[in-house]
Structure 1
Amino acid sequence: MGEKSSVCIVGSGNWGSAIAKIVGQNVVEKSDMFEERVNMYMYEEKFEGQKLTEVVNQRHENVKYLPGVKLPENVVAMPDLIAASKNADILIFVMPHQFVRGTCKVMQEHIKDSALAVSLIKGFDKAPEGKPGISMISSMIEDILGIDCAVLMGANLAPEVAEEQFCEATIGCKNLADGELLKNLFEKPYFRCSICMDVQTIEMCGALKNVVGIGAGIVDGMGLGHNTKAAVLRLGLMEMVKFGEMFIDGSQEVTFFESCGVADLVATCHGGRNRMLGEAVVKSTKENPNWTIRELEKEILRGQSFQGPLVAKEIHEVLQERGKVDDFPLFKAIYKICQREMPPQEFIDCLRCHPEHMD
């Protein structure tokens, strides 16, 4: 990399916009390290008759996905992915995980060979056909773009980060130099970052906690209390650890005690969008037995997507291949509820009969 690193944010939802606020401020404050302009790739759509990129650049606010939060003027929304990313030294990926492969394919021949990617994406994919297990988003980015990819995960609900409420995050990287560079890019007094080398476990936590968050929301939707939700968190964390042991070489239990692990799980189960989905699933089942996840997304998320149901489907398929579905009863129940194969009211039975409670 050159003396100063230029930055591009690939994605512009509520989390992408919240991180753009942090990054936009930090590159100005650390002008000896970073170029001042930050390109933010934004999928073009209409907002009140105007192009959304034009509205964002005029008002310096993502009026659709993070209204009321001012973005630094050096953050520039761009609808052209190649133009936004081609000169970047640091590529920050923050978008729904199902769009990453196609996005990287577009960028593939145009980015710098020396660029560093960092994924803030909380999801993963099935491994390529013929290979068992799961494929991490960071690995997908590395494979397609031919560059290293770090990760940033943690208890980071976007509206709270945008309001500068104190929180922590975990940077996962292969070497300390990349970690220090990214720490300088992301850290604020209210957004404290630690560095950890257990990259795949960090990334896995970010995906699986969304599934457990749906379970917490189901508990809320049923009108049950803190004790039941605490059981969901504990059993969910145990299944997360077990999943890591099964699919990630060298997964370290201590990583689950970083912000990317138990802290993110707690935040998601109390305030995340997937918790909101779980609650909506219970209420929608009572009002409309034919609801779909897509309908709930349109109703609740202003065009964004819930990641939990897709991750639940992906891990269910992987566990099926291994014949291990029944070893993860919490994950299994949440998958079946999202697929409308199980009434949400039966969720508590899965907690009651969890193997953890069997002699």
Structure 2
Amino acid sequence: MKKIAVIGAGSWGTALSIVLADNQHEVRLWSHREEQAQEINEHKTNKKYIPDISLPNNLKGYSDLQHAVEDAEAILLVVPTKAVREVCRSMRPFIKNDQTTIHASKGIEPETHKRISEMIEDELGDHVREHIVVLSGPSHAEEVALRQPTTVTVSSYNIKAAEIAQDLFMNENFRVYTNEDVVGVEIGGALKNIIALGAGISDGLGYGDNAKSALITRGLAEIARLGTKLDANPLTFAGLTGVGDLIVTCTSKHSRNWRAGNMLGKGYVLQDVLDQMGMVVEGVRTTKATYQISQKLDIDMPITEGLYELLFHEKEPKKVVDDLMNRGKTKELEDLSSFL
């Protein structure tokens, strides 16, 4: 049994805490809201994020960050990308150099264009690089909390660190693979949220399965083009953190990015969508960052570009689709060369 600090008591942090608790670890689930930590401890619930689920007894709520992390053997960071730097700075004085730091967030930072692991390294120091692990894959929190079969990937520059994370999480309901391609795993996990927004928009416009299938397939090509330009292994995008995560996020009612896109397709404006969601929609921020990267590196990403124009310049959803359908002719196999 190990002491694990889970930083972020949203739906995903809570679901992963349940997995760790099922594996008999001592789980400390930190929230920045004291009343949420009290609910977890007094009622064994987290109703806002995981309703109708009773939390295990070995899962405790914390609102004091120092007490949560200072003697933990591993830290699991599950906060929105915009909060990663602030949280890391806050906990840096209390963590040890050899603590395994796992993150399960998916996004890219605008302006700096850094992945989550790079942001963590910036804030905690270069010495933590070999102890950072990425957890990603097709995994809705709602299903994980219900202990339904789920398979994910953990990735690190240090395979031993990835194997530590694999051992912490692996059980009969939650299967974990390792992958040494940190860049590919993070890029796939982040960019699939952009395509999920597009899939939701397509459904909101009333288009059928043909359109969504094309969007997912062409979206995967865009992800692979950017990823391989950043030295990712193209085979990663054919795995769980690529096509696997893309399918589940683009086709499920559980996906908040799909739901946000669906509302946009039905005519809602972005701010109203975000207000009604009540939770972070990572695809919006990631679209901005990815568009910036594509322009900087001169990478053809028409879906990302169209969604950027829709989100930040109020381009009509149908006009985005029309422009994509009327692009110049190209050869499919040449366009999929990123996988070769």
Q: TM-score, normalised by structure 2?
A: 0.91
Equivalent runs, 1:108-127 vs 2, <5 Å: 108-126=92-110
Q: Separation in 1 of the partners of 2:227 and 2:328?
A: 18
- Structure 1 residue 127: deviation in Å? 6.3
Aligned pair count reads: 326
Q: Judge conservation of contact 2:17–2:59 (CA < 8 Å) in 1.
A: yes
Q: Separation in 2 of the partners of 1:21 and 1:354?
A: 47
Q: Flag the 1:235–1:107 CA change in 2: closer, same or farther, 3 A.
A: same
1:8 maps to which residue? 5
Q: Flag the 1:105–1:358 CA change in 2: closer, same or farther, 3 A.
A: same
RMSD between aligned residues: 1.8
Tell me the alpha carbon deviations over residues 229-249 of structure 1, each in whole angstroms, 9 at most, x when there is no partner.
000001100000001122x22
- Structure 1 residue 174: deviation in Å? 2.1
Q: Does 1:269 align with 2:258?
A: no
Q: Judge conservation of contact 2:189–2:245 (CA < 8 Å) in 1.
A: yes
Equivalent runs, 1:186-335 vs 2, <5 Å: 186-246=169-229, 248-249=230-231, 251-271=232-252, 272-285=255-268, 291-293=269-271, 295-300=272-277, 303-324=278-299, 327-335=300-308
Q: Does 1:68 align with 2:43?
A: no
Q: Which runs of 5+ in 2 are unaligned?
A: 333-340
1:31 maps to which residue? none
2:28 maps to which residue? 39
Q: Separation in 1 of the partners of 2:298 and 2:238?
A: 29
Which residue of the other structure, out of 318, 323, 328, is the alignment partner of 1:345? Answer: 318
- Choose between structure 1 and 2: higher helix proportion: 2
Q: TM-score, normalised by structure 1?
A: 0.86
SS in 2 for 1:216: helix
Q: Which runs of 5+ in 1 are unaligned?
A: 29-35, 46-50, 129-133, 286-290
SS in 2 for 1:305: coil
Q: Judge conservation of contact 1:154–1:259 (CA < 8 Å) in 2.
A: yes
The percentage of counterpart residues that share the same residue type is: 31
Q: Separation in 1 of the partners of 2:321 and 2:3?
A: 50
Q: Flag the 1:341–1:323 CA change in 2: closer, same or farther, 3 A.
A: farther
SS in 2 for 1:135: coil
Q: Flag the 1:126–1:299 CA change in 2: closer, same or farther, 3 A.
A: closer
Q: Separation in 2 of the partners of 1:358 and 1:177?
A: 42
Q: Judge conservation of contact 1:209–1:265 (CA < 8 Å) in 2.
A: yes
Q: Judge conservation of contact 1:219–1:279 (CA < 8 Å) in 2.
A: yes
